[in-house]
Amino acid sequence: MAHAFLSKRIVTPQGTQPGALLLEGEKIRAICRPSEIPPHAVTHDCGNDALLPGLVDTHVHINQPGRTEWEGFRTATRAAAAGGYTTLVDMPLNCLPETTTVDALEEKRAAAQGECFVDWAPWGGAVADNQQHILPLARAGVLGFKCFLIYPGCDGFTMIDQQQLEAALPFIAESGLPLLVHAELAGPIDAATDGLLYADWRSYATYLASRPDQAELEAIRLMIRLCRRYRFRLHIVHLSTSLALEELRAARAEGLPITVETCPHYLHFAAEEIADGATLLKCAPPIRSKENQQQLWRGLRDGTIDMVVTDHSPCPPAMKREDIGRFDLAWGGIAGISLALSIIHTECSRRGFTLDNIVRWMSSAPAALAGISHRAGTLEAGRDANFVIFDTEAEFTVTADKLHYRHVISPYLNERLRGVVKATYLRGSAVYREDAFAAEPLGREVTL
């Protein structure tokens, strides 16, 4: 049965245009004029709502298997569907076992089976001692690798030092897959933290001072040098410091294969506005100044930052230590996948950005990073029929019932946001519509 979705604003790679999105089975058959809709097609009129490609989030911590009490495939993908996402790529840490061997990858696949409301794919880990597992993981279907240049907060997934990294890089380069790097170095952080032993750790200023820009800047400089030497696809995750933008721009101008992401919380919150004890806003690298935030938006505008992904990183509420409000003791990570589109749309409405910008940052560019542009990331004939019906005018107040992930805590509670996901379609089927989810989880693993 063919279906046609009529909209005044369909966001395509050629721009936003009125027309009809014509589906056949699980695929997009065409984007056509209303007069070209075949007579037998079932027509759905989306009125003033926009049609966007399903969003792709390449930075999600699903934590299953092993820490399913933090999050899990069922809850994370449900929240993703409510947020307009149709594909998630899962980070290899925080789950047990960590995704650093093919055996561990198979355990993750078994855990995901029949649990996913949207499609998913795995990143593999590059840790201190798994260099010999890089190419087997690539052959087994991970879309790329993640590494930490600093202690990642959990013991099992080890940080990688320069020597260990250089032992892995020839294999990563050979795989052709991207290396996603948590770019902070311990040196500047340890030096800063030494001076804060007796500081007030309920104060956000203390936490911010403990993770200086310099830690990111030095890590990014190291990675640019290594990228020049080994010529692998380098991706900087969750860029927080705007001080690195100029060097990243220059490295890309030199022709190095570098991409950069930032996250909604860096684009929406600013250090000056974070109350003491507000540990829900602890993440690493930290949310920095208002001026820094403006520069990140400039980085998006000029293309130095390619994409906006969530770094959805939940934990059990007690671990955020809101009881004592100490930033040194709280878990670092912000959950928010169900709200990201509305947050970014709200910010973009104020700043003169368009739906085309949002789609590039939140769908096409992450799909390209993950190597799955043939399936997702644009509304074009032949792609999977993954799309979002998005009301750009409606506003809502964030309440816990809008979050849909396992632990419904959020620093965005009570905020007024503009833009509501009315429905999310995965391969032609509504997985989320008007606050209700598909009866069956229809998500599958996406492969290259």
Backbone angles phi, psi at 152, to 5 degrees: -85, 5
Task: Tell me how far, at minimum, the Cβ of 208 lies from Zn ion, in Å.
Answer: 19
Size of the site for Zn ion (CB under 5 A): 1
110 sits in which H/E element: helix 102-112
Task: Tell me how far, at minimum, the Cβ of 23 lies from Zn ion, in Å.
Answer: 34
Sequence-distant (≥ 6) Cβ neighbours of residue 310 within 8 angstroms: 57, 59, 60, 263, 264, 336, 337, 340
* Closest listed residue to residue 340, CA positions, set 265, 235, 430: 265
Task: Tell me how far, at minimum, the Cβ of 182 lies from Zn ion, in Å.
Answer: 7
Residue number of the CB closest to Zn ion reads 311
> Within 71-130, which residues bind Zn ion (CB under 5 A)?
none
> Within 334-393, which residues bind Zn ion (CB under 5 A)?
none
42 sits in which H/E element: strand 42-45
Comparing CB distances to Zn ion, the nearer of 119 and 311 is 311
Task: Tell me how far, at minimum, the Cβ of 175 lies from Zn ion, in Å.
Answer: 21
Number of neighbours of residue 342 by Cβ within 10 angstroms:
26
Comparing CB distances to Zn ion, the nearer of 128 and 334 is 334
Residues 7 and 18 sit within 8 Å (Cβ to Cβ) = yes
Which residue matches tokens 């995901």?
A: 112
Comparing CB distances to Zn ion, the nearer of 23 and 237 is 237
* Closest listed residue to residue 112, CA positions, set 448, 441, 447: 441
CA distance 75 to 82: 11
Comparing CB distances to Zn ion, the nearer of 90 and 311 is 311
Comparing CB distances to Zn ion, the nearer of 311 and 347 is 311
Number of neighbours of residue 431 by Cβ within 10 angstroms:
28
Task: Tell me how far, at minimum, the Cβ of 21 lies from Zn ion, in Å.
Answer: 33
Task: Tell me how far, at minimum, the Cβ of 187 lies from Zn ion, in Å.
Answer: 21
Task: Tell me how far, at minimum, the Cβ of 369 lies from Zn ion, in Å.
Answer: 14
> Within 297-316, which residues bind Zn ion (CB under 5 A)?
311
Comparing CB distances to Zn ion, the nearer of 71 and 311 is 311
Comparing CB distances to Zn ion, the nearer of 49 and 71 is 71
Kindly state whether residue 49 participates in binding Zn ion, applying the rule CB under 5 A: no
Sequence-distant (≥ 6) Cβ neighbours of residue 324 within 8 angstroms: 202
Task: Tell me how far, at minimum, the Cβ of 91 lies from Zn ion, in Å.
Answer: 5
Helix locations, 186-230, DSSP H: 186-194, 204-210, 213-230
Comparing CB distances to Zn ion, the nearer of 269 and 387 is 269
Comparing CB distances to Zn ion, the nearer of 84 and 92 is 92
Cis peptide before 65 (omega within 30 of 0): yes
Task: Tell me how far, at minimum, the Cβ of 249 lies from Zn ion, in Å.
Answer: 24
Measured on CA atoms in the order 115, 440, 336, 308, is the torsion positive or negative?
positive
Measured on CA atoms in the order 237, 409, 418, 438, is the torsion positive or negative?
positive
The contact set with Zn ion (CB under 5 A) reads: 311
